[in-house]
Amino acid sequence: AGGEGSGAPGNTLEIFNPATGSFSLAGTLTSSRQNHAAVLLSDGRVMIVGGSDGNQILNSSEIVDPAAGTVSSGPSLSTARAGHSATMLLNGDVLVAGGSDGSKDLASAELYSSSARTPEFAAAANMLSARSSHSAFLLPHNAAVLMVGGSSASAELYQAWNSAFIATGSPATPRSGAAGTPLAADGLLLLAGGRTSTAELYSFPTIKTDKDDYLPDVRAIISGAGWAPGEAVTLVFTEVPKRHPDRFLKLTADASGNLYYDQWAPERHDLGIRFYVTAIGSQSGSQAQMTFTDGDITWTGNVSTDWATAGNWSTNSVPLASDKAIIPAGRARYPVLSGTKKSVGSLQIDSGASLTVSADLVLSKSVSSSDSVVISGTLDWTSGAMTLAGSNVSLTVNSGGLFRVRSGTNGLPAFASISLDANSTVEYGGGNQTITTTTYGHLKLSGNGTKTWTGSDITISGNLDVTDSSDLVLGRNITVYGNLAIASAATLGVGSNWNITLKGNWTNNGAFAQGGSGATVTLNGSTAQQTIGGAHQTTFTNLLISNTSGSGIRLSQNVTVNAGLSLSNGIVDAATDGTTLTVNISVSGGNDSSFVSGKLARPYAAATSKVFPIGKGGFYRPVTIAITQLNGNSTLTAEQFETNIPGGSVPGTSLLGPRYWHVTQDGAFGNQIYYTITLDGRGLITPTKPVKIDKRAGGLAEAFNATGSGPTYSTTIGEIAGQTSFGDFALAQVANPTTLTVTSATGTYGGTVNLSATMLSGGAPNFPVGTPLSGKTISFSLNGTVLASAQTNLSGVASVSGVSLAGIDAGTYSTGVSASFAGDDNWDLSSASNILTVNRAPATITLIAPSPWPTYDGTAKSATATTSPTGLAVSFTYNGSPAPPTNAGTYAVIASMANPNYDAPNAIGTLVILKATPAITWSNPGDITYGTPLSGTQLNATASVGGSFVYSPAAGIVLNAGNNQTLHVDFTPTDTANYNAASQNVVINVLKATPAITWGNPADITYLTALSGTQLNATASVPGSFVYTPAAGTGLNVGNNQTLHVDFTPTDTANYNNASKDVSINVLQATPAIAWSNPADITYGTALSGTQLNATASVAGSFAYTPASGAMLNAGNNQTLHVDFTPTDTANYNGASKDVAINVLKATTSITWSNPADITYGTVLSGTQLNATASVPGSFVYTPAAGALLNVANNQTLHV
C-alpha cells in the first residue's frame, strides 16, 4: 500500500498471491502516503494509518477491505505521525506508537478499539523514549509489544493489561531500519541488520494453552517457558464479560524455567466467557498474557456459511439444544441459519462477528444455569420464529453489539432478562412491528412499515435513528440521551400528548408529526450544545428549552412551534446559520440565561401585544410590539444586534449606544397600522436630553418621541402599511446643533495636501453661537473618500498634514475637500466642503530602442518608452503619423506624454523594422526507388509568403541509389520589400530498384520431360543473369503446383537489387507407349493366342486382353482386339490401352468321300456310292443325283 515509487508517495494497492507468486492491483488509497503503517484487523480488513503525502505529515487512516474490494476513511489519529508502528493486540485493539511529527520524534501512543460503536483513536500511555523508524513485535504467547531500535538505541515493552510501557533489555548494537521476526521456538525473536551486518536474539517468557477453546469441564494444559528457574509464577484469570471475580493460580517454574499445569478446567457457568490469563513472575518480574474461551462449539467457517454443515464447527458437529455456539471474529465466512428449524442452547457472537437467522430457532438448555444470548457482534434476525424454550433465557448486547430484528411483527423475544449496553444497538428492520418496552442503548428503525409501542415509557441511553422508509409512532413518553435522527423517507409520529425528552441533537431529514395540543419536545442537554437541524424544518407542538450546558441550542434549520415556546435555560442560537424560529401562539420565559439569538417570528391575527425574547452576544434585550390597529394577518420577525443602527443615527439625534432591533413584516396589515414598540436600553448610556426612537426603513429616516423613564422606552407609530412599516429601531436622544467650515486645498498629483476645518457651536446652553468646540473628531474626505481624521483644538480647529492625493486626477474640484462631524451624545452631526486643486506632476520620457529591431510580420510595430514615474501613458508618431508602421523600413519616432496628470518634454528617436525571412516548410521526402524522376511529390516546398522556388537538382532528374542525398531549394519572395530570399536543404533516400521478373507458370509437362528453356524462360526488366532451381535438365516427379524458383542478379548492382520469383508447374503422369500391330488373318476355328495377343509397352506392367487368350472368333473382317495396360509405376504413369483389327477367314469344310466301289451298269446311284461326309454339319447335293443310271465306263466323275 502506497510508498515511494518514482520520487513521490504513491496511492496504489497491490495484493500478493502466494499460489501464483505474483502481485495484482487492488485499488487506490484516498491519500498518497509513505512512511505509514499497516495492520491486519481482527475482521480481516487492513488499516493504513499515518505517514506523509510528501507535503505534510498525516493523521488520517484508511480501511482496506480486500474481500469487498473497497477503501473507506478510518478514524483520525490525535497526532499526525510518520515512521511509527501499528500493532494489533491480543484483544483486537490496535496500538499506534512513536514516529515523527515532522519536527521531532514522538513518545506518544494511541489505541484504536474496533469494538466501539464509533471506533476511534484514544490516547495511550507514553513510551519511555521518543522513537521513529523502529520495529514493533507482538510477542507470541506473551502478548506484550516489543518496541526496539529506530531513532532510539533502547528497547521497551507495552503491556496492554497494565496499559503501560516498561523497560527491557536493549540491543547490543543500536539498530535503525532493522528487520526481525519471532522464531518457531517459543520465547525467541531474531533481530537482524539495521545499518549493521550483525544479528541477535531477544528472549522472553511465554504462557499458552493447548487449545483456543474448551468445553466445560475439559482440562486445559497450561505451559510456559523462559521464566526464572524455581520462581513462583502467579496466573490471574480474568473473565470477559466479567461474571466472577478474578481467580488466581500459583505455579512454580522447574529448573529449566518451564511451567506445566493440567488440572484446571472451565466450569459450566463459564460458558460464553473469554479468559485472559496473565502470568506474573515473583522473582524475574516478567509478565505474559494469553487468552482462550469456554464454549461448547466454536464456528470456524472452514467450508461455507451454512450453520448446518458440521465442517464449519470446531468439533466437526453442529450445535444442538444443549450446546453453546460461539461465533468468533476473524473468520472469512460467518454463519447463516436457514432451512428447517434449528435448536441451540446459548449463543455468543463476538465483536466483529455476525450471525444471520432466517429460519425458526429454538433457544433452550437443559442445565440449571441461565441460558443466554450474548451479542458483541451482529445478530441479524431476518425471518422465522425465535422461540425461548428455556425458562431463564437472557439477552445481553454488549458495547458495539447489534441485534437487528427483521422477522415478524413482534419486537424482541420475551427474554427473562434483557441487558442492553449504553453503546449497543437494537435495530427494528422489518415491516409493521411492535417495539419491546425496555431501556435501549441505541435504537434504530429501518426497512419499511410502522413501528409502534403502547407500553410504558421508553428510555434510550444512546441514539434514536429512524431510517429508510420506516415510520415510528410513539405511544408513550420517550427519553433519548443521545441524538435523534429522522431519515429522508422516514417519519417519526407521536401519539396524542406524548412527550419527547432529548439530551442530544435533533436531525430531521424526513417527516415529524406530533399529535395533541399538549405534546412537548424538551431539549435538556447538560454537557454540550444541542442542535436542531436536518434537510427539513421541524414543526413542534410545544418546545421546552432547558439546556444547562452553558452552550444552549443551535438552530441549523428553521423551526416552527405551533403552540408554545418555553424558555427555561439556554440560549437558542438562530443567528449562526441564519435560521428563523417561528412561534405561532405563546412564548413563556425569556431571561438573561434563556432567549433567542437571531430571528424570532410571531404572527399577528388581531390587535395584541407580543414580547420577542431576543438578544445577542450573551445579552438579553427583548422588544415588545403591541399592535393597536390592524386589518388582516401578518407575521413580524425580530432580531437584535449589538452594533450601531445601519445608516447611523437619524439627523438631530445621537445614539445612546451600539444597539438596534431589526423588525420585518411578512404579509399585509391592511391600509393603515398603529403599533407601540418598546425597546430595552439596559447597558446603554443614560440620556441627558429627550429620548428618541430612531427608525430607518426603505431609505427613510425618522425619529419618534419616546416615553418611559428608562431603561425601557416606548413610542407609538401610525403610518400607511407597506414595506417601510417596520425596519431598524434604535434608542437615541436629541443632539445640540453645530456649524463646520473647511478650507480649500491645493497640491500636486500624486503628492499630499494639508487639510483644516473649524467647528463651532450652533447655539446651546453655556455654548453661545460661534463658541469653538474642542475635542471633537472631524473626518476629512477628498472627492468623497474619507482619508483622515483629527480632533479639534481649543480654537475648534482640526487639521491634518500630508493627506495623500493618490487616486485623484489633476484638475479643480469645486467640492473636492469635505469635512464631517458624526455627532456625539451632545452635539449634532454637521458637514462642509470647499475647492480642491490638483496640479499636474512633472515627468520624463525615454525612448527605448529594441534590441534586436523588430522584424516584419504583417502586424503594426509600436515604439516603446519608459517614464519617470514609471507606467505613464505615452503617445507616439511615426514619420508624423500616429499609426504604428507595418512595413519594413526606418521611421522617425516622437514620444509625447498622454497622461493628463503629468507634464513631460517630447522624446525623439528612430524605429527600424527589419525584413522578415520567409519560413520554408519542406520535410525530408519519402524514400523513392531508383528510376523515379524527381517531381512535385518530392519538390514540394512551401513558404509562409508568396514567391517562386528553384530546385537543385531540378524536376525530372533521376538520382542514383543512395541515402541522405541533398535536395536544395532557393526561394524568392514576391514581396521583396518586406521579405528576404531564403533557401533550405532536405535529404532524400533513393532506394535500389527491384527488377521486374516476368515468368508465367509453365504449361503442364509429362513425367520424364526434362526442364528446359521451354519452362525456364524468365525475363527481367533489366540486364542480368538467372539461376534456376531446379536447374535445366532436371526431371520432376509427378505432382501439381511444384515450385520453380529463379534468382536474378542484375548487371547494374549499384542501382538494382537482386530479385527472385517462383512459379508453379504441374507434372502429369506419362502414358506408356503400347506397340501392337494388326495380327495376320486367321481362319475360323483358330483360338486367340500369343501369336495374335502380343502387345508390348514402353515400361514394365501387365496386360489384360479382350477377348482373352483362348477365345475363338467367328469369321469376319476387322474384328477388334483390345488390350488394357497397367504400369508397375502407377505414381508416374497412367494406365494405357490399344485396339488392333484381325480378319477371321471362313474355314474350308473337310469332305471325306472315297471313290466308291465299282458298280455294274444298271445299278442306280444310291447312298452306297453317294456317302460323302463333312467335317461340319451341312447338306450335300450330288451330281449325278441319286437314282441316276450311269453308262458303262471307267473313271466317271461323281460330284458333291
Among residues 1178, 1156, 1158, 1176, which one has the least CA distance to residue 1167? 1156
Residue range 110-156, pLDDT digits in tens: 999 876 666 889 999 999 999 999 999 999 999 999 999 999 999 99
Return the pLDDT at 368. 35
Residue 426 CB burial class (10 angstroms; 0-12, 13-18, ≥19)? buried
Residues 6+ apart with CB under 8 A from 881: none
Instruction: Say if residues 207 and 289 touch (Cβ distance below 8 Å).
Output: yes
- Give the residues across from 478 on adjacent strands: 458, 500
Q: Residues in the chain, how many?
A: 1200
Task: Indicate if the alpha-carbon torsion angle 379, 384, 388, 389 is positive or negative.
Answer: negative
Return the pLDDT at 741. 96
State the cell numbers at 656: 445612546
Q: How is the chain split among helix, strand and coil, in percent rounded to 5?
A: 0, 50, 50
Residue 1031: CB atoms within 10 Å: 9
Residue 400 backbone dihedrals phi, psi, to 5 degrees? 85, -10
Dist. CA 161–CA 207, nearest whole Å: 14
Return the pLDDT at 632. 73
Residue 270 backbone dihedrals phi, psi, to 5 degrees? -90, 5
Dist. CA 757–CA 752, nearest whole Å: 17
Work out the average pLDDT over 180-185: 93
Return the pLDDT at 722. 55
Return the pLDDT at 5. 78
Instruction: Using the predicted structure, report yes or no on whether residue 891 has a pLDDT greater than 50.
Output: yes
Instruction: Using the predicted structure, report yes or no on whether residue 995 has a pLDDT greater than 50.
Output: yes
Among residues 878, 913, 869, 875, which one has the least CA distance to residue 895? 875
Residue 1137 backbone dihedrals phi, psi, to 5 degrees? -150, 160
Dist. CA 159–CA 162, nearest whole Å: 5
Residues 6+ apart with CB under 8 A from 185: none
Instruction: Say if residues 755 and 832 touch (Cβ distance below 8 Å).
Output: no
Question: Confidence band (pLDDT; 50, 70, 90) for 330?
Answer: confident
Instruction: Using the predicted structure, report yes or no on whether residue 942 has a pLDDT greater than 50.
Output: yes
Residue 958: CB atoms within 10 Å: 13
Q: For the chain, what percent of residues have pLDDT higher than 90?
A: 78
Residue range 44-62, pLDDT digits in tens: 889 999 999 999 999 999 9
Work out the average pLDDT over 954-963: 95
Which H or E run includes 1075?
Answer: strand 1074-1075
Task: Indicate if the alpha-carbon torsion angle 1169, 1174, 1179, 1183 is positive or negative.
Answer: negative
User: Which pairs count as long-range contacts for 451-455, CB under 8 Å and 24+ apart, including other chains?
Assistant: 453/411
Work out the average pLDDT over 1120-1137: 95
Cis peptide before 245 (omega within 30 of 0): no
Mean pLDDT (the chain) is: 92
Dist. CA 322–CA 312, nearest whole Å: 18
Dist. CA 1168–CA 1146, nearest whole Å: 31
Return the pLDDT at 316. 84
Instruction: Say if residues 280 and 233 touch (Cβ distance below 8 Å).
Output: yes
Residue range 781-833, pLDDT digits in tens: 999 999 999 999 999 999 999 999 999 999 999 999 999 998 775 788 899 99
Question: Confidence band (pLDDT; 50, 70, 90) for 1043?
Answer: very high
Q: Which carries the bigger pLDDT value, residue 649 or residue 225?
A: 225
Question: Confidence band (pLDDT; 50, 70, 90) for 366?
Answer: very low
Among 112-116, 260-264, 465-469, which stretch is predicted with the lowest mean pLDDT? 112-116
Dist. CA 858–CA 916, nearest whole Å: 10
Q: CA neighbours within 13 Å on the CB side: how many for 210?
A: 10
Residue 1136 backbone dihedrals phi, psi, to 5 degrees? -140, 160
Dist. CA 87–CA 541, nearest whole Å: 53
Among 272-276, 630-634, 1125-1129, which stretch is predicted with the lowest mean pLDDT? 630-634
State the cell numbers at 244: 466472577
By DSSP bridging, strand 572-573 and strand 942-943 are unpaired
Return the pLDDT at 786. 94
Residue range 704-734, pLDDT digits in tens: 999 998 899 999 988 655 556 789 999 998 8
Return the pLDDT at 369. 46
Instruction: Say if residues 180 and 87 touch (Cβ distance below 8 Å).
Output: no
Residue 447: alpha-carbon gap to chain centroid: 29
By DSSP bridging, strand 864-868 and strand 797-804 are unpaired
Q: What is the pTM for the complete model shown?
A: 0.49
Return the pLDDT at 874. 96
State the cell numbers at 573: 442560537
Angle (CA) 550-552-554 rounded to 5° is 145
Residue 925: alpha-carbon gap to chain centroid: 48
State the cell numbers at 977: 520589400
Instruction: Say if residues 83 and 132 touch (Cβ distance below 8 Å).
Output: yes
Residue 78 CB burial class (10 angstroms; 0-12, 13-18, ≥19)? middle
